[in-house]
């Protein structure tokens, strides 16, 4: 058994998402009993490669690929039932068992509605000077309604069809007026939306449960739990590079409110970081390489969005940013991913500091205006050649690759315990 899973673990991204959380959660889940999603929605795209099979999950926890593992969708998630059932049907068709035996959804989980998607897309298309670059999955408007309260719908509401009908009627009527004025979009009919969600409601009932209570009980029973963070700390609505973030508390700090787990349930905070940096959508990105280095990384790392297929922006590893997210989340171990992508470069650069208005900044400011102006200070390390995807022992990596890993760990301040050298489940080294 891996030392990682002595106790319960939260797996979180240390950059701007797509660090390989899906792969590492799947890897760790070999020794787990429960996997929990606690934030975000179908804006996430987590990839798991098992042999020749490749799966992309948006809402389902990746524990569905491990027989016997219980999968929970917590209240902090925003759930688009259309995506959920599409995903379930796709995986069932591919022989992955998914039923109320291995999947439970919190009754407190908020629902993404068609008008949320409409609003997200309309706002993105109309925003002066460009939008945030969202995934247009209705995420922001759904969380806004959650906080607004009167205009929100939760999984629990699907159980009461008469009330659901009235509520959808009221909300859609109101939303049509607002969206017409703001974006001149054509009105939606409330009745087909009601009928669609009534049908989703009938199908979802066997999966609905009290996730917070289940977690407390699993804790008492000593079950091993892995919390599957989505997005990443730099996309956290409070601690990320606001406003170019997503709308949930997607750092490790959000796991308690997003699942109902008591704080002492989690002992390990496993940060996932890729060997370089990427970001999708808008926002500051100090180490971005808008040149042949960025293209080299994008092509070798297949850096195209799992959810939207947008090309990801690519750049050097930013140790200033990652040190911040390591400290913010109390990271106890790191899994470094996509190291194989950097093979073949003569030199590799690491950003070890920022210069701002002539001064060296000693720590990361999650402030748009500062980040847009900082100048990265780089340290240069020698690169290495050859395909390292077949390597299974750290000591067998080229010595320059070992040196790179050790330097990253020094700079970000937490031990790198896992190194991933390929997308496949087994392309993983333990240190």
Binding site for ligand IMO (CB under 6 A): 13, 16-18, 43-46, 132-135, 137, 139-140, 230-232, 235, 246-247, 280-281, 306
**Alpha-carbon span 265 to 222, nearest angstrom:** 10
Are 154 and 107 spatial neighbours (Cβ–Cβ below 8 Å)? yes
Token duo for residue 326: 């390591």
Which CB, 41 or 45, lies closer to Mg ion? 45
DSSP bridge pairs for 382: 347
Of 47, 247, 249, 329, the residue at the interface with ligand GDP (CB under 6 A) is 47
Is 25 or 374 the residue whose CB approaches Mg ion more closely? 25
Shortest CB 234 distance to ligand GDP, Å: 13
Segment interacting with Mg ion, rule: CB under 5 A, options 45-53, 149-157, 175-183, 296-304 = 45-53
What length is written for the chain?
A: 431
Query: Which residue lies nearer to ligand GDP by CB, 102 or 337?
Result: 337
Nearest to 117 by CA among 129, 93, 92, 134: 134
Supply the minimum distance, in Å, between the C-beta of residue 108 and ligand GDP: 24
Quick one: which segment of 13-21, 238-246, 254-262, 364-372 binds ligand GDP (CB under 6 A)?
Answer: 13-21
Please choose, from the candidates 251, 59, 231, the residue with its C-alpha nearest in 3D space to the C-alpha of residue 134: 231
Nearer to Mg ion, 306 or 428 (CB): 306
Dig out the tokens for 104 from the structure.
């439970």
3-state secondary structure 166-226: HHHHHHHHHHHHHHHHHHCCCCCCHHHHHHHHHHHHHHHHHHEECHHHHHHHHHHCCCCEE
Provide the minimum distance between the beta carbon of 13 and ligand IMO in the complex, in angstroms, as a whole number: 6
Which one of residues 11, 14, 26, 46 is an interface residue with ligand GDP (CB under 6 A)?
46
- The listed partner (Mg ion, ligand GDP, ligand IMO, none) that binds 134, CB under 5 to 8 Å by sort, is ligand IMO
Residue 84 contact among ligand GDP, ligand IMO, Mg ion, none, beta carbon within 5 to 8 Å by kind: none
In this structure, what is the dihedral angle of CA atoms 160, 163, 165, 166, given to the nearest 10 degrees? -170
Find the binder of ligand GDP among 32, 88, 208, 341 (CB under 6 A): 341
Q: Cα dihedral sign for 332, 333, 338, 343?
A: positive
Q: Which helix (H) or strand (E) holds 141?
A: helix 139-148
Question: Do 233 and 21 meet the contact criterion of CB atoms below 8 Å apart?
Answer: no
Closer of 194 and 227 to ligand IMO (Cβ): 227
Q: Which residues pair with 420 in a beta bridge?
A: 428
**261 to 320, contacts with ligand GDP by CB under 6 A?**
302, 306
Residue 301 in contact with Mg ion, rule: CB under 5 A = no
User: CB under 5 to 8 A by kind: which of Mg ion, ligand GDP, ligand IMO, none does 135 bind?
Assistant: ligand IMO
Q: Look at residue 273 and give its three-state secondary structure.
A: strand
Strands (E), 58-153: 70-73, 78-79, 103-106, 110-111
- Residue 18 interacts with ligand GDP (CB under 6 A): yes or no: yes
362 is catalytic: no
Residue selected from 5, 8, 18, 236 as contacting Mg ion according to rule CB under 5 A: 18
- In the complex with ligand GDP, the residue whose CB is nearer, 215 or 421, is 421
β-pair type (46-50, 313-315): unpaired
Of 134 and 337, which CB lies nearer to ligand IMO in the complex structure?
134
Q: How far apart are CA 48 and CA 56, in angstroms?
A: 6
User: Catalytic one among 33, 46, 116, 231?
Assistant: 46
- Judged by CB under 6 A, does residue 228 bind ligand GDP? no
* Helix intervals (H) in 221-341: 255-259, 292-300, 319-329
Stretches 133-141, 204-212, 257-265, 414-422: which one binds ligand GDP (CB under 6 A)?
414-422
Residue 99: DSSP 8-state: S
Which helix (H) or strand (E) segment holds residue 82: the answer is helix 81-93
Task: Give yes or no for residue 23 binding ligand GDP (CB under 6 A).
Answer: yes
Q: How many residues line the site for ligand GDP (CB under 6 A)? A: 22
Establish whether 6 is a catalytic residue: no
Single out the residue of 4, 8, 21, 142 in contact with ligand GDP (rule: CB under 6 A).
Answer: 21
Please state, in angstroms and rounded to a whole number, the distance separating the CA atoms of residues 397 and 383: 12
Residues that bind Mg ion in the complex, under the rule CB under 5 A: 18, 45, 306
> Could you list the active site residues?
18, 46
Residues that bind ligand GDP in the complex, under the rule CB under 6 A: 13, 17-23, 45-47, 49, 302, 306, 337-338, 340-341, 420-423
């Amino acid at each position: 058994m891996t030392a990682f899973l002595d106790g319960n673990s939260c797996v979180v991204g240390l950059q701007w998402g797509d660090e390989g959380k899906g792969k590492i959660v799947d890897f760790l889940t070999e020794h787990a009993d429960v996997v929990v999603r606690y934030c975000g929605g179908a804006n996430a795209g987590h990839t798991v490669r098992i042999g020749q099979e490749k799966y992309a999950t948006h809402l389902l926890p990746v524990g569905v690929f491990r027989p016997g593992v219980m999968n929970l969708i917590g209240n902090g998630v925003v759930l688009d039932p259309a995506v959920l059932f599409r995903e379930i049907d796709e995986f069932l068709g591919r022989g992955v068992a998914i039923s109320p035996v291995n999947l439970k959804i919190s009754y407190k989980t908020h629902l993404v509605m068609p008008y949320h998607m409409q609003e997200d897309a309309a706002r993105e298309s109309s925003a002066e000077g460009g939008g945030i670059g969202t995934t247009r999955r209705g995420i922001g408007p759904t969380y806004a309604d959650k906080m607004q309260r009167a205009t929100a719908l939760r999984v629990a509401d699907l159980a009461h069809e008469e009330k659901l009908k009235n509520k959808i009627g009221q909300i859609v009527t109101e939303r049509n007026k607002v969206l017409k004025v703001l974006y001149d979009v054509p009105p939606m009919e409330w009745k087909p939306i009601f009928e669609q969600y009534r049908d989703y409601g009938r199908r979802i009932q066997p999966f609905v449960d009290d996730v917070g209570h289940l977690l407390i009980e699993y804790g008492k029973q000593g079950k091993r739990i892995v919390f599957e963070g989505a997005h990443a700390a730099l996309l956290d609505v409070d601690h990320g590079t606001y406003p170019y973030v997503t709308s949930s508390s997607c750092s490790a700090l959000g796991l308690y409110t997003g699942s109902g787990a008591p704080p002492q349930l989690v002992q390990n905070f496993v940060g996932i970081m890729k060997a370089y940096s990427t970001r999708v959508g808008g926002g500051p990105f100090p180490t971005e390489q808008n040149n042949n280095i960025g293209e080299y990384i994008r092509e070798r790392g297949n850096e195209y969005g799992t959810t939207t297929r947008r090309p990801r922006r690519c750049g050097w590893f930013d140790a200033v940013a990652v040190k911040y997210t390591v400290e913010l989340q109390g990271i106890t171990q790191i899994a470094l991913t996509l190291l194989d992508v950097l093979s073949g470069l003569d030199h590799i650069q690491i950003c070890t500091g920022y210069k701002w208005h002539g001064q060296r900044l000693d720590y990361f400011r999650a402030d748009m205006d500062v980040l847009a102006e900082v100048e990265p200070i780089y340290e240069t390390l020698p690169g290495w050649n050859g395909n390292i995807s077949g390597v299974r022992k750290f000591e067998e990596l080229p010595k320059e690759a070992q040196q790179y890993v050790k330097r990253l760990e020094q700079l970000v301040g937490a031990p790198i315990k896992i190194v991933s050298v390929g997308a496949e489940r087994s392309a993983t080294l333990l240190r």
